[in-house]
Structure 1
Amino acid sequence: MPAPDLVNGELKLTGRIKTASNATFLGSIGGAVVVYKPVAGEHPLWDFPDGNLANREVAAYLVSQVFGWNIVPRTWLRDGPMGEGMVQLWQEPDPAQSAVDLVAADAVPATGWRRVLDGRDNRERMVTLIHEDSAALRRMAVFDAVVNNADRKGDHILAMPDGHRHGVDHGLTFHVEHKLRTVLWGCLGDAFSTGELEGIDRVSAQLAGDLGDTLAGLLKEEEVAALAVRCARLRSEARFPAPSGGMSPVPWPLF
């Protein structure tokens, strides 16, 4: 059976994902299951341009491709039942796995996990936010720092059955101001590995070539320039950055 034409094939809606903050639908193109976020369903934000979140999702996918780590599932722009929007191949996570978790403060595993922060739950019990101590989440944290991800919630990390981790929901990225809000602070201050530095180098190099040309059609000129500056700064510091500024360093809700 030939592969479906994901760009021009009929996009049929099969359901709505009601937990999303913007209009988000489940659909199919041929035999492929997809997520569809129409631009018309984007809620205005005070700090991001209106009608531009879909572009940022596609830009994040393109940067992910250059990193070469398969973080963001295939994502593209196309027309649909509610107009132009972002379409992304659906990924079915393993419900038995969690890459990020909230546990009792006295129950943090001794190995295999990184502590992010401590707090109290709605019953005033001490709890700790943790994430896997894994190469996959380190790479995702590098990616988030590069694209300036303002919304890396725990449920935006999909734990796949084969152990791979996908990141989704990248509409709040590429702002010119520091906006990094993430649950992946567990590696704060650690030196980047050789492979992580090489990934940043690939993005920097491609910004002067095909990647930069393509992003120019999706983002503002100053946003692409800020991306290049972030790459250069991260490469120079060569370690996971710390939170900065007066805003919360984690998104809310966390999941």
Structure 2
Amino acid sequence: MEIRDAHPDAETLRLLATAPITGFGLHPLGSNHVFVVKLDPGAGTEPIYGIYKPRAGERPLRDFPRGTLYRRECAAYELSVALGWPDIPPTVVREGPHGIGSVQLFIEADPAANFFTMRESSLPTFEPVAAFDLLANNADRKGGACLRDEHGKVWAIDQGLTFNPYAIQRTVMWEFCGARITERLTDDLRRIRPELSPRADLGCRLEELLVEGELEATRERLERILADPVFPVLDPNFNVPWPLV
């Protein structure tokens, strides 16, 4: 993965992409194989920790091409950086102990906090997550896929089931159904419209990470959102992830 110096997370991305993995352990949660890894660059630099999701640990899914989830994690991060929201931890594609996969910066988070415990006091904080999920067609936004770190910042994680035009959106963020997307977010969506061209830097990166046709489908979703910037009213029989947390 090429890392540009101007990238806002350039140094963290370099560590995630190049630092030796000196320790790892299986994460107890997750439907696929997920590992917590220690990345130690040495030379007096403090080690960091990451979440490693190898392609070899992905279970087959009916509505997603096999062996593509790790790349979707990285594509979601790249799109979030272009938009400026939501906050997704820096993510790279690299080789690891079990082969190629995604490595995402580990976030020290409050284990008791999730969307359901935070929504009453912080619901507006989640609108960028809901808008991103609409654009990326997230098929798995569980309540536990939102973390709160020690500074109170909310992070969105687990973006592996995104961008597939044939999957249905699944989310627990039903509070936004039928609501108008705020102007600040639609301004950002309008701004990135040219960046999603396959000839633009972002479009090229996404096209490398996604399956053929998925970048075009993302552009089509963007146009639909801009034409009618309202969160859709979803179907409780189909548009709900399981488990909810």
User: CA offsets per residue over residues 163-192 of structure 1, 9 Å max, x none?
Assistant: 221111111110112511001110111111
Residues 249, 70 of structure 1: CA spacing in aligned structure 2 closer, same or farther, 3 A cutoff? Answer: closer
TM (normalized to structure 1)?
0.82
Aligned to 1:107: none
User: Residue 21 of structure 2 aligns with which residue?
Assistant: 11
Contact 2:16 / 2:50 at 8 angstroms: preserved in 1? Answer: no
**1:190 matched to 2:179:** yes
The residue type paired with residue 153 of structure 2 is H
Change (3 A) 1:76 1:247: farther
SS in 1 for 2:192: helix
Match of 2:34 in 1: 24
Distance in 2 of aligned mates of 1:44 and 1:71: 28
Matched, 1:36 2:36: no
Which stretch of structure 1 is more off in the superposition, 16-25 or 194-203? Answer: 194-203
The answer as to whether partners of 1:74 and 1:88 remain within 8 angstroms in 2 is yes
Could you tell me how far 1:136 is from its partner in structure 2? Answer: 1.9
Contact kept? 2:114, 2:145, Cα under 8 Å:
no
1:62 is matched with 78
Deviation string, structure 1 residues 183-203 (Cα, Å, up to 9, x no partner): 111011111111110221233
Q: How many residues align?
A: 226
Aligned to 2:206, which of 206, 215, 218?
215
Aligned to 2:90: 74
**Alignment match, 1:248:** 238
Deviation at 1:40, TM superposition (A): 0.7
Match for residue 176 of structure 1 among 137, 148, 165: 165
Decide which structure has greater helix share: 2
- Report the alpha carbon displacement of residue 70 of structure 1 after superposing the two structures with TM: 4.6
| SS in structure 1 at match of 2:81 | helix
Partner of 1:232: 223
By how many angstroms is 1:133 displaced? 4.7
Equivalent position of 2:7 in the other structure: none
Percent identity over the alignment is 36
Instruction: Identify if the C-alpha distance between structure 1 residues 154 and 93 changes in structure 2 by more than 3 Å, giving closer, same or farther.
Output: same
- 1:159 pairs with 2:148: yes
CA contact (8 A) 1:17 1:25 kept: yes
Q: Which has the larger radius of gyration?
A: 1
Residue 251 of structure 1 deviates from its aligned partner by: 0.2
Which letter does structure 2 place at the counterpart of 1:212? G
Q: CA deviation at 1:222?
A: 1.0
Question: How far apart are residue 71 of structure 1 and its match?
Answer: 1.9
Aligned counterparts of 1:163 and 1:6: Cα–Cα separation in 2: 24
The DSSP-based 3-state class of the residue aligned with 1:84 is strand
Per-residue CA distance 1:105-164 (angstroms, 9 max, x = gap) = xxxxxxx73xxxxxxxxxxxxxxxxxx553320110000000000000011110223222
- What one-letter code is carried by the residue in structure 1 that aligns with 2:62? W
Which structure 2 residue ranges, 5 or more long, are not aligned?
1-10, 41-46
AA aligned opposite 2:143: G
Per-residue deviation at 1:242? 1.8
CA RMSD across the alignment:
2.1
Which runs of 5 or more structure 1 residues have no equivalent in the other structure? 103-111, 114-131
Structure 2 length-normalised TM: 0.86
Query: Which structure is higher in strand share?
Result: 1
